[in-house]
């Protein structure tokens, strides 16, 4: 996916969530709750259904994500994290927006959360 095709940061976040769910499907993850963390309260609250999504392009992403979650019987648990906790993701996004190759050596640790 090319970053130029996104109209906003929120759309890029939706695309990232969609890709995460697609990868979960590839890994055979289903019939469980999964924690989704992010620093955009707008996106997290729309994904959790607490806030309405009024923008048509974002609603299309939301519909795709919800359909895939429903198909996989995954119950999303949306958890906000601070921008400070999300510094590596911010660094990688900044590099990508500058058209540079992105690499990260941070390992994602397992979580004991539901």
85-94 in b/e burial notation, b at 16+ Cβ within 10 A? ebeebeeebe
Region 90-112: what's the mean pLDDT? 67
Could you state, in order of their start, the residue ranges of all structural domains in the chain? 8-82
How many angstroms separate the first and last alpha carbons of the chain?
A: 30
Tally the residues of the chain. 114
pTM exceeds 0.85, yes or no: no
Better pLDDT: 66 or 7: 66
Domain 8-82 has CATH 3.30.420.10: yes
Better pLDDT: 61 or 87: 61
According to the model, what pLDDT value does residue 114 have?
46
The rounded radius of gyration (Å) of the Cα atoms in the chain is 14
Beta strands in the chain, from DSSP E residues, in sequence order: 32-38, 74-80
Average pLDDT for the chain: 84
Q: Residues 6, 35: contact at Cβ < 8 Å?
A: no
């Amino acid at each position: 996916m090319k970053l130029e095709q996104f109209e906003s940061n929120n759309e890029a976040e939706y695309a990232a969530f969609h890709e995460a769910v697609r990868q979960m499907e590839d890994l055979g993850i289903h019939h469980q709750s999964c924690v989704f963390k992010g620093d955009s309260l707008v996106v997290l609250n729309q994904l959790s259904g607490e806030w309405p999504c009024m923008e048509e392009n974002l609603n299309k992403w939301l519909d795709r994500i919800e359909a895939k979650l429903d198909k996989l019987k995954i119950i999303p648990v949306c958890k906000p994290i601070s921008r400070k906790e999300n510094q590596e993701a911010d660094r990688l996004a900044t590099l990508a927006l500058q058209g540079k190759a992105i690499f990260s050596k941070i390992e994602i640790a397992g979580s004991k959360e539901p």
